[in-house]
Amino acid sequence: MKTIIYTDGSSRGNPGPGGWGSVVCDGERVIELGGRESRTTNNRMEIVAAIGALEWMQGNSASRSGITVRSDSKYVVQGITAWVFGWQRNGWITAGKKEVENRDLWERLVTATRGLSIEWNRVDGHAGVPGNERCDEIATGFADNQSPSLYDGVASSYTIDLSVRASVTGTEKKKKSSSSSIRAYSYLSLVDGRLEKHKTWAECEARVKGVRGTKFKKSVSADDERDIARSWGF
C-alpha cells in the first residue's frame, strides 16, 4: 500500500527557535510527528522533518516501497535527489570548495532512506495544499514553543485530505529551463553573507560585478524568491 509523507520546517529567525512537522499516512494509519530546537535554521528544520518521518518509517512500518515524500523545500528535494551524490563523491566538499552546510543532517537523511523506495516531490508552499498546510501548523507551533496536538489514529478519521498536491518532482527543472523568458519578479544577490533583493538586473549586477564568491539569481515569483533565499540559507 502506498505511503504518503508531508514534511515542513520553520524557524523564527535564521538562526532562531525552530520547529518541524511531518504527516505520515500508509492508507490505514495516519501519524503526525514534530519537534522543536531552541536555536536552528529553516533549512535544518526542513531536513529534520524529512528525517523524522523516514526514521519513524524505518522503526515502525513494514512498508519499504511505494513511499512518496512531499516537501515545499527545493533545498531538501534537490539535495537528496541530486546534490548529495556529488557531495559524497567529493568528501562532502561543494563545487565551490567549501564544506557542505548541514552535513550532519544530510548524512542522517541518507541513512534514513536506506532500504526504502522513495519518490520525492516538491509541492507549493502556502498554496492551500492541505498536507503541507498541516505540517506548517505543526512546525510553526513548535517554533513558537507551543505543544501542538498530534494525531495518531486510523486514516478514515483523519480530516485532512492528503491526496491534494500542487506540483511534483521536475517542476524545478522546467522553471530553470524557461525562466529566461519569464518576466523577473526580483533579482537576489548574496555578497559577504548578506542577502539583498533588487528590482532590476542593473541594480543586482552593480552589486556583484567583479566581486568574488558572490551569488545572484533571478526569481519569477514570490515563492521562487523564497525558495532561492532558502537554498542560500535564509
| pTM, 2 dp | 0.72
Residue from 32, 37, 72, 225 carrying the catalytic annotation: 72
Residue from 46, 224, 225, 227 carrying the catalytic annotation: 46
Instruction: Write the DSSP assignment of 83-145 as a string of letters.
Output: IHHHHHHTTSB-TTS-BPTTHHHHHHHHHHHTT--EEEEE--TTSS-HHHHHHHHHHHHHHTT
| 224 carries an active-site annotation | no
Check if the beta carbon of residue 159 is closer than 8 Å to that of residue 188. Answer: no
pLDDT of 32: 98
| 46 carries an active-site annotation | yes
Determine the average pLDDT of the residues in 199-211: 83
Q: Is the pLDDT of residue 167 over 60?
A: no
Confidence of residue 92 (pLDDT cuts 50, 70, 90): very high
pLDDT of 219: 82
Residue from 86, 99, 104, 126 carrying the catalytic annotation: 126
Confidence of residue 168 (pLDDT cuts 50, 70, 90): low
Kindly report, residue by residue over 110-126, the tens digit of the pLDDT: 999 999 999 999 998 88
- From residue 78, give the alpha-carbon distance in Å to each of 124, 139, 144, 191, 216: 15, 21, 28, 23, 19
Q: Which domains does the chain have, with CATH numbers?
A: 3-169 (3.30.420.10), 176-231 (no CATH)
| 8 carries an active-site annotation | yes
| 126 carries an active-site annotation | yes
The x, y and z cell numbers of residue 153, run together, are 489514529
